[in-house]
Amino acid sequence: MKIVSSSFQDNTKIPSKYTCDGEGVSPPLSFVDVPGNAKSLALIMDDPDSPNRTFVHWILYNIDPKTIEIQENSVPQSANLGLTSLGKPGFVGSCPNVGTHHYHFKLYALDKILNLTNPDKATLEKEMQDHILEKAELVSLYSRI
């Protein structure tokens, strides 16, 4: 399984359009080779370089496993949103305070549909435990220097 974007390559700079210096919208993402036995997909975008704690920028779960792309600034019809580190659902664009940060887009293929309402990252990860069939990751970089 792979996660890719038409807007940036793995471990390269994300265009400013998807950051707090631009429009702050979510980038387009594509999913390749999702396992046929997956019941749902989950996506977590976070920044482990954030001071004090990992900052969660986006959580989507219960994505239909037949989904092959998420268009720019959109959420798949079947998906549910989890809580960002700002305590609300939605997308938070990359916005490092200092230096270059790594933004991880982590895609999980799961063997179940999750029975959750607006979970935070810890709750989602706990519910996914022992139900992950495959995981894929795409990393973007951003610096406000």
- In DSSP notation, 69-97 reads EE-TT---TT-EE-B-TTSSBS---B--S
Give residue-wise pLDDT tens across range 83-131: 999 999 999 999 998 889 999 999 999 999 999 999 999 999 999 999 9
Q: For position 54, what pLDDT does the model report?
A: 96
pLDDT beyond 90 at 1: yes
The tally of domains found in the chain comes to 1
Q: For position 98, what pLDDT does the model report?
A: 86
What mean pLDDT, rounded, does the chain reach? 96
Does this model's pTM top 0.85? My answer is: yes
Q: For position 80, what pLDDT does the model report?
A: 97
Q: Which domain holds residue 50?
A: 2-143
pLDDT beyond 90 at 52: no
pLDDT band, very low/low/confident/very high, at 79 (cuts 50, 70, 90): very high
Cβ-based neighbours of 69, under 8 Å, separated by 6 or more:
28, 29, 30, 31
pLDDT band, very low/low/confident/very high, at 71 (cuts 50, 70, 90): very high
Q: Is 130 exposed, middle or buried, given 0-12, 13-18 or 19+ CB atoms closer than 10 A?
A: exposed
Instruction: Supply the CATH number for residue 87's domain.
Output: 3.90.280.10
Nearest to 17 by CA among 85, 101, 95, 103: 95
pLDDT beyond 80 at 145: no
**Backbone conformation region of residue 125, classed left if phi is above 0, alpha if psi is from -120 to 50, else beta:** alpha
Whole-angstrom Cα distance, residue 99 to residue 28? 25
Q: For position 2, what pLDDT does the model report?
A: 98
